[in-house]
Amino acid sequence: MTSPSSKPLLATLKGERQSVPPIWLMRQAGRYLPEYRALREEKGGFLALAMDSDAAAEITLQPIRRFGMDGAILFSDILIVPMALGQDLWFETGEGPRLAPTVQARNVLDALQPNAEALEPVYGTVRRVAALLPPQTTFLGFAGSPWTVATYMIAGQGSREQAEARRLAYRDPELMQALVTRIADCTIEYLLGQIEAGVEAVQLFDSWSGSLSPAQFEQWVIAPTARIVAALHQRAPGVPVIGFPKGAGGKLPAYARETGVDAIGVDETVDPVWAHASLTANLPVQGNLDPLALIAGGPTLESAVDRILLAFSERPHIFNLGHGILPDTPIAHVEQLLARVRSGK
């Protein structure tokens, strides 16, 4: 086993197996933290925070100060890309994001006026965080994968089973391809901008990939992701890319092989024993504690943690949740999780 790096998470992403896996949590900068809630009350809604570089940098750093996570994940949102592509974005209180106009016809897509300036506040956040992070902490940037971003651009909001996007993909595959290509092109430049500003690795979130048939998964998840990964590897060599296709299930091995990602995130529905047996040897794996097990705490949490640690003990492993941390997660349970993972048991 290799000796731990001064940046354990980055070393793991590059294929080193650590005796104690590094840990960070998806949505670790968010509503479960009282310091986040206080800042949001002071500054305003979510989008106002995300587009305020000083506030977003502070939020990114909050879980690092409190818990000493091995990774800091940029505080932003996957829907910044639709803004940069020309859609209007706002958040309805208690209901989530809204986008307009909805892209359900080619003339709507063609009429969108790209605005690359929408990405500048994010790069400002990255520069601020990069200057303040502890030297052992890996800085992670991110973007939504094209399929997931497309589902919001087509429906104008989160949608049940992503039916609008799936219908459009069947009804007008040329329009869907044009939209996905436009998202992928913007995402490549966006992630390269984050890298130039100071992130050390990036994650692609495909939160809604589980709603697709196998053939659609190949077309709308694997193909555009592979294109993004290839471009990043060519233009930012050495910067690891984590793919997180939530809900992929049995399609995970194909995703890992065909996209060329450097590490793969596994959601909580996947058996970690199966994942270890099915994925390419030595491919770094990230995950996959159920966020509800974290809320449960106590022996339930510890047994779930131990099972994951054992399953991935023979490969590079980053401990994480199977999806984002929930707002009602007790701080004490996060502390319990960190203690258990770092105990070396």
Tens of pLDDT along 170-189?
999 999 999 999 999 999 99
Closest CA to 53 of 118, 126, 115: 126
Residue 115, domain member (yes or no): yes
**Structural domain includes residue 316:** yes
**Residue 5 confidence (pLDDT):** 66
pLDDT at 1 over 60: no
Amino acid at 141: G
For residues 55 and 45, is the Cβ–Cβ distance under 8 A? no
Does residue 3 lie in a domain region? Answer: no
Whole-angstrom distance, CA of residue 302 vs CA of residue 339: 10
**What mean pLDDT comes out for the span 31-51?**
92
Judge whether 274 lies within some domain: yes
Mean pLDDT of the residues in the chain: 95
> Quick one: pLDDT at residue 14?
97
Distance CA 228, CA 245 (A): 14
Confidence of residue 332 (pLDDT cuts 50, 70, 90): very high
Does residue 33 sit within a domain? Answer: yes
pLDDT at 3 over 70: no
Strands 201-206 and 138-144: parallel
Tokens of 123: 């790069």
- For residue 71, report the phi and psi dihedrals to the nearest 5 degrees: -130, 140
Question: Is residue 343 helix, strand or coil?
Answer: coil
User: Of the given ranges (92-96, 318-322, 325-329), which has the lowest mean pLDDT?
Assistant: 92-96
Question: In terms of DSSP bridges, do strands 88-92 and 96-100 run parallel, antiparallel, or are they unpaired?
Answer: antiparallel
Q: For the whole model, what pTM was predicted?
A: 0.96
Q: What is the pLDDT of residue 44?
A: 82
Residue 305 lies in a domain: yes
d(CA 272, CA 307): 8
**pLDDT tops 50 at residue 97:** yes
Counted domains in the chain: 1
Domain containing 274: what range? 8-342
Per-residue confidence band for 312, with pLDDT thresholds at 50, 70 and 90: very high
- Cβ atoms 258, 220 nearer than 8 A: no
Instruction: Tell whether 1 is covered by a domain.
Output: no
Q: What is the pLDDT confidence band of residue 45, given thresholds at 50, 70 and 90?
A: confident
pLDDT at 130: 98
Distances in Å between the Cα of 279 and the Cα atoms of 199, 232, 312 are 27, 22, 11
**Which CATH number does the domain housing residue 278 bear?**
3.20.20.210
Cα–Cα distance list, 199 to 130, 233, 241, 256 (Å): 7, 15, 11, 22
Alpha helices in the chain (DSSP H): 8-13, 34-43, 46-50, 53-67, 80-85, 106-111, 120-132, 146-155, 163-171, 173-197, 214-217, 223-235, 252-259, 272-278, 291-296, 298-311, 331-342
CA distance 333 to 188: 37
Residues classed as catalytic = 27, 31, 40, 77, 152
